[in-house]
Amino acid sequence: DIVMTQSPDSLAVSLGERATINCKSSQNILYSSNNKNYLAWYQQKPGQPPKLLFYWASIRQSGVPDRFSGSGSGTDFTLTISSLQAEDVAVYYCQQYYSNPFIFGGGTKVEIK
């Protein structure tokens, strides 16, 4: 199985400041034939199901604010919130869909400092 490791486990950021979440896969999840990274990012607010933010590592899902960005390739990926808003308090998960079983990272809890 491909192991997905997120860091940090939690972070507290002041409103308007940048938040950066890292995700590392134990194997390359870039498919060379199509140059796509099989990685998604989700946001889960308390009491709600996860919500897709990014797919193919950097393609923003419709409706996601542009203060969110996804980057990275191969085995190292980053989710960045450029200017943290109160409504961004949530747990964020990365997930690989390169090979079965599809594994999620352990999650990163983002709070307001």
Partner 1 sequence: QVQLQESGPGLVKPSETLSLTCTVSGGSISSGGYYWNWIRQHPGKGLESIGYIYYSGSTYYNPSLRSRVNISVDTSNQLSLRLRSVTAADTAMYYCARAGVHYYGSGKPWPSAFDLWGQGTMVTVSS
Which spans of this chain sit near partner 1 (rule: CB under 8 A)?
31, 33-34, 40, 42, 48-52, 55-56, 61, 93, 95, 97, 100-107
Give the nearest distance from C-beta 22 to partner 1 in angstroms.
Answer: 16
Residue 21 or 83 having the CB closest to partner 1: 21
Q: Which residues contact 40 (CB under 8 A, 6 or more apart)?
A: 52, 53, 54, 55, 94, 95, 96, 97
Q: How many CA atoms lie within 13 A of 7 on its CB side?
A: 4
What are the beta bridge partners of residue 4? 25
Residue 16 or 101 having the CB closest to partner 1: 101
- Return d(Cα 10, Cα 79) in angstroms, integer: 13
Give the nearest distance from C-beta 94 to partner 1 in angstroms.
Answer: 10
Residue 16 or 46 having the CB closest to partner 1: 46
Give the nearest distance from C-beta 88 to partner 1 in angstroms.
Answer: 19
Encoded tokens for 60: 């923003």
